[in-house]
Amino acid sequence: MTSIESEKVEINHPTEKVFNWLSNFNNYQKLMPAQVSGFASTENDCSFTISGMATIGMKILDKTPNSHIRIGSNGKVPFDFILHVRLNSVSADKTTSRLVFEAELNPMLKMMLEKPLTNFFNLLAEKMKDASYS
């Protein structure tokens, strides 16, 4: 099992507000870096293309209020994966978050994808710090 963790980020918003915003894929386009194109979403699923990689489809599998969103691969993806969005309340108006990606990747895929995926998830986490959450 390959596991890739983003940097832990501190978000200056209440955990409930962050959780509710991240529970809707329609908000995720605001988090996507420039190398993402063709973003399409509903509340519970989305798809997009990462430049130089494949088209990725995701769907929300389950949620634990104010602490965890479990996202899975959906549609035509090159491999199955789970993405965990972990939230932790630090204070009434501060939340920490980390993205944890898990997939069964063969050694060749792991070697090719580990660095770009780590960079991608770190970019998403950084953008989570600055999102408006409204």
Per-residue pLDDT of the chain (134 residues; tens, 9 = 90+): 999 999 999 999 999 999 999 999 999 999 998 889 999 999 999 999 988 777 899 999 999 999 999 999 998 788 899 999 999 999 999 999 999 999 999 999 999 989 989 999 999 999 999 999 98
Helix runs in 88-131, H state only: 107-130
DSSP-assigned beta bridge partners for residue 70? 62, 84
Q: How many CA atoms lie within 13 A of 76 on its CB side?
A: 5
Pick the CATH number of 2-23+60-130 from 3.40.50.10610, 3.30.530.20, 3.90.660.10, 3.30.930.10: 3.30.530.20
Predicted TM-score of the model (pTM) = 0.94
Domain ranges for the chain, please list them: 2-23+60-130
